[in-house]
C-alpha cells in the first residue's frame, strides 16, 4: 500500500496524511474504546479533495472510512483491523458558519462541531436543539442520526437536516435537498445518507434548520419509590405541559451514584431520601413563561403525586444546570466502576419499565457478578441498559460482553418488538446483531441501495 500513501501525499501534502503509529492509535478509538488499525488517515479540506481521495481509493482497491469527531459508540468511525483501510478525517471540512437568521438555517462544513455551530447560532438567538454529553461533528451527527435527551420535543437529526452536500463512491459530488421549509419537487434522496453511518457517501457540508433558543429552562428531579410509576408521570406531564416539556429522562440510582462518586463538582440531588429511581424532566419556555412561572408550574403539578402513598417521595427543582450536569456525568461515572457492556436499546414507551425489570431479572439470574447501571430517555422509549463488570474482579472474561448483548438484544427485539440500536447506529460493534435480527428482505433491499451509492468496488466500509 506504499504507492497509495505516496499518491495521497502528493495530492494533499505530507501534513495532511497521517502515518505516525502513535497518531493512528488515537484515531483507532471512538467514544467506547479501541477498534481496528488504519493504514493511514487523511485530512482533505474540500469536497473536491474528498472526491480525489476516493478516486485514489478506487484505483488502489482501498476502503475509505469517514470519521468526524470520533465520539460514535459503535465503532463506525474506526478502520477495521486489516491495516489496509484509509480513515478520511472531516475536521478539515470546516470553513465559515453561514447563519441565515430569517430562514433559521445554518450552512456549514461537515467537520464543524456542534458546540461551534451553537456558539455561532446563539448570537442570533438560535440553536440546534440536540442535546448530548459529547461534542460531535455535524457530519457525524447526520451519519448517525443523533438523537439525544431532547428528542421528545425536538426529534432527531433527521428532522433538522434541510440539505446536504455529499461525495459518492464514484467521486460525484451531489447537493441534495434545499434550504426551503417545504419542497416536494423531487425524491428526498438526502435521507439515504442520514443515519447510514457513512456507508452510502461522505457528507461534506449541510444546511441545518435552527430553533429559537428558549429564554428559560427549569428541570425537576423526582425521587420515585418505584421506577414503574415513571411512565404514568410522563403521560401526566405531557398532558399538563404540552410542548413546554422538552425532556423526560429516567436514571437508576446505581448510575447516579456512579456519577456522584467519580465526577467532581456534582451535588447529590436527594441527600435525605432513598429513592428507587429518579425521573428528571425539563420545561423550556420564552418570555411569557419565566423561570419562576415554570418552577411554580412544576411544583404545583408534582404536589398531588407527593401525598402519602404517592409515587413521588421527594422533588427538587433547579434552573442552574445542576441536574443536567449529573445526567451528563453518568457515562463517565459508570466507566470508573468497571468494564461497561453497553446496550443502546429502544422499546415502545409503555413497555420501557417492564422491559427494564425483565432485563435486570434475567441479568441477575445469569450473571450475578454484573451490576446494572441503566439510564434512559423515558420520553422516547430509549434505554441505555449498561451492565458493569467491576474492576475488583479483574479483566472481563472473554466472550462475556457478546453473550450478554446477545441475550439482551434477543429479549428486546423478539419479546418487545424493540430495537437493538436506538441511536448509535449499526457499525462494526452491532453488525452481527444486524445480520441476526434484521429481516432478510430488509437487509437485501438495504444492500442494493448501498451498492447504488458506494460504487461497484465498495469504496466505503460496509456496516
Ligand atoms: C458521552 C457520550 C454521549 C453520547 N450521547 C448520545 C446521545 O444521547 N444520542 C446519540 O444519538 N448519540 C450519542 N452519542 C454518540 C455520538 O456522539 C454520536 O453518534 C455522534 O453523532 C457521532 O458524531 P462524530 O462526529 O463523533 O462521528 P464519528 O464517531 O466520527 O463517526 C460516527 C459514524 O459516522 C460516520 N461519519 C462521520 N462523519 C461522517 C461524514 N462526514 N460523512 C459520512 N459519514 C460520517 C463514521 O464513519 C461512523 O460510522 C454519545 C457519545 C458519547 C461519547
Distance in Å, CA 50 to ligand 1 centroid: 20
The pLDDT of residue 33: 84
Question: 359: closest CA among 386, 380, 377?
Answer: 386
The pLDDT of residue 35: 82
Name 101's Cβ contacts closer than 8 Å, sequence gap at least 6. 124, 126
pLDDT tier at 456 (50, 70, 90 boundaries)?
Answer: very low
Ligand 1, pocket-test mutation among 50, 63, 67, 141, most atoms within 8 A of CB = 67
Distance in Å, CA 198 to ligand 1 centroid: 11
Q: Is the model's pLDDT at 150 over the cut of 80?
A: yes
Tens of pLDDT, residue by residue over 410-444, are 999 999 999 999 998 898 889 999 999 999 999 99
- Residues above pLDDT 70, as percent of the chain: 98
Question: 342: closest CA among 436, 282, 255?
Answer: 255
Counting from 1 in the atom list of ligand 1, the atom nearest the Cα of 138 is 25
Q: Is the model's pLDDT at 455 over the cut of 70?
A: no
Distance CA 130, CA 30 (A): 20
Ligand 1, pocket-test mutation among 71, 80, 330, most atoms within 8 A of CB = 71
Distance in Å, CA 153 to ligand 1 centroid: 21
Q: Which residue has the higher pLDDT, 424 or 455?
A: 424
Distance in Å, CA 271 to ligand 1 centroid: 35
Distance in Å, CA 301 to ligand 1 centroid: 36
Tens of pLDDT, residue by residue over 252-283, are 999 999 999 999 999 999 998 889 999 999 99
Q: Is the model's pLDDT at 457 over the cut of 50?
A: no
Pocket lining for ligand 1, CB < 6 angstroms: 30-31, 65-73, 76-77, 90, 110, 132-134, 136-137, 139-141, 143-144, 146-148, 197-198, 202-203, 331, 423-424, 427
Distance in Å, CA 303 to ligand 1 centroid: 40
Average pLDDT of the residues of the chain: 94
The domains located in the chain, with CATH, are 2-92 (3.30.43.10), 98-212 (3.30.465.10), 216-329 (3.30.70.2190), 336-437 (3.30.70.2740)
Tell me the mean pLDDT in the region 315-330. 95
Q: Is the model's pLDDT at 14 over the cut of 90?
A: yes
The pLDDT of residue 137: 98
The pLDDT of residue 95: 85
Give the cell for residue 346.
429502544
Distance in Å, CA 72 to ligand 1 centroid: 4
Q: Is the model's pLDDT at 462 over the cut of 70?
A: no
- Residues above pLDDT 90, as percent of the chain: 89
Indicate the pTM of the whole model: 0.94
Distance CA 406, CA 364 (A): 15
Counting from 1 in the atom list of ligand 1, the atom nearest the Cα of 331 is 1
The pLDDT of residue 308: 87
Q: Is the model's pLDDT at 128 over the cut of 50?
A: yes
Residue 309, number of CB atoms within 10 A of its CB: 5
Counting from 1 in the atom list of ligand 1, the atom nearest the Cα of 203 is 42
Question: 36: closest CA among 71, 2, 86?
Answer: 86
3-state secondary structure at position 298: helix
Contact 336, 354 (CB under 8 A): no
Beta strands in 49-172 (DSSP E): 64-67, 86-89, 98-100, 105-109, 126-127, 161-167
Distance CA 287, CA 290 (A): 6
Beta strands in 110-171 (DSSP E): 126-127, 161-167
The pLDDT of residue 212: 96
Tell me the mean pLDDT in the region 369-392. 97
Tell me the mean pLDDT in the region 290-300. 90
Biggest alpha carbon–alpha carbon distance for the chain = 75
Distance CA 121, CA 105 (A): 9
The pLDDT of residue 459: 53
The pLDDT of residue 9: 98
The pLDDT of residue 458: 44
Residue 159, number of CB atoms within 10 A of its CB: 13
Contact 207, 163 (CB under 8 A): yes
Counting from 1 in the atom list of ligand 1, the atom nearest the Cα of 461 is 47
Amino acid at each position: 500500500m506504499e504507492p497509495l500513501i505516496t499518491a495521497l501525499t502528493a495530492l494533499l501534502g505530507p501534513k495532511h496524511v497521517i502515518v505516525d503509529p502513535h497518531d493512528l492509535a488515537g484515531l483507532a478509538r471512538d467514544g467506547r474504546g479501541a477498534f481496528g488499525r488504519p493504514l493511514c488517515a487523511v485530512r482533505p479540506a474540500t469536497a473536491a479533495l474528498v472526491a480525489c481521495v476516493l478516486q485514489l481509493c478506487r484505483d488502489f482497491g482501498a476502503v475509505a472510512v469517514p470519521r468526524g469527531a470520533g465520539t460514535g459508540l459503535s465503532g463506525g468511525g474506526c478502520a477495521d483491523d486489516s491495516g489496509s483501510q484509509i480513515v478520511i478525517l472531516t475536521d478539515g471540512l470546516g470553513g465559515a458558519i453561514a447563519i441565515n437568521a430569517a430562514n433559521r438555517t445554518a450552512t456549514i462544513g461537515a467537520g464543524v462541531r456542534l458546540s461551534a455551530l451553537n456558539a455561532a447560532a446563539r448570537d442570533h438567538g438560535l440553536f440546534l436543539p440536540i442535546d448530548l454529553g459529547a461534542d460531535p461533528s455535524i457530519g457525524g451527527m447526520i451519519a448517525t442520526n443523533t438523537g439525544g435527551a431532547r428528542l421528545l420535543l425536538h426529534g432527531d437529526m433527521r428532522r433538522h437536516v434541510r440539505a446536504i452536500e455529499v461525495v459518492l463512491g464514484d467521486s460525484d459530488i451531489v447537493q441534495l435537498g434545499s434550504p426551503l421549509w417545504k419542497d416536494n419537487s423531487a425524491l428526498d434522496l438526502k435521507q439515504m445518507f442520514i443515519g447510514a453511518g457513512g456507508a452510502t457517501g461522505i457528507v461534506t457540508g449541510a444546511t441545518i434548520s435552527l430553533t429559537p433558543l428558549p429564554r428559560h429552562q427549569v428541570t425537576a428531579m423526582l425521587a420515585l419509590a418505584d421506577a414503574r410509576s415513571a411512565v404514568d408521570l410522563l403521560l401526566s406531564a405531557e398532558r399538563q405541559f404540552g410542548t413546554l416539556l422538552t425532556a423526560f429522562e429516567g436514571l437508576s440510582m446505581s448510575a447516579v451514584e456512579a456519577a456522584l462518586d467519580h465526577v467532581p463538582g456534582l451535588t447529590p440531588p436527594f441527600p435525605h431520601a432513598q429513592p428507587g429511581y429518579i425521573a428528571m424532566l425539563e420545561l423550556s419556555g420564552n418570555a411569557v413563561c419565566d423561570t419562576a412561572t415554570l418552577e411554580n408550574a412544576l411544583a404545583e403539578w408534582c404536589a398531588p403525586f407527593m401525598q402519602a402513598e404517592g409515587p413521588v417521595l421527594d422533588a427538587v427543582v433547579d434552573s442552574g444546570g445542576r441536574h443536567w450536569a449529573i445526567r451528563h456525568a453518568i457515562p463517565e461515572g459508570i466507566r470508573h466502576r468497571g468494564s461497561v457492556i453497553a446496550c443502546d436499546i429502544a422499546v415502545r414507551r409503555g413497555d420501557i419499565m417492564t422491559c427494564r425489570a425483565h432485563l435486570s431479572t434475567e441479568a441477575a439470574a445469569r450473571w450475578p457478578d454484573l451490576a446494572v447501571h441503566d439510564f434512559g430517555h423515558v420520553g422516547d422509549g430509549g434505554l441505555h441498559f449498561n451492565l458493569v463488570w467491576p474492576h475488583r474482579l479483574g479483566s472481563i472474561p472473554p466472550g462475556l460482553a457478546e453473550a450478554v448483548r446477545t441475550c439482551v438484544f434477543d429479549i428486546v427485539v423478539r419479546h418487545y418488538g424493540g430495537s437493538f440500536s436506538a441511536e448509535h447506529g449499526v457499525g462494526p460493534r452491532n453488525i452481527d446483531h444486524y445480520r441476526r435480527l434484521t429481516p432478510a428482505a430488509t437487509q437485501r433491499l438495504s444492500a442494493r441501495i448501498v451498492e447504488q451509492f458506494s460504487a461497484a468496488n465498495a469504496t466505503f466500509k460496509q456496516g
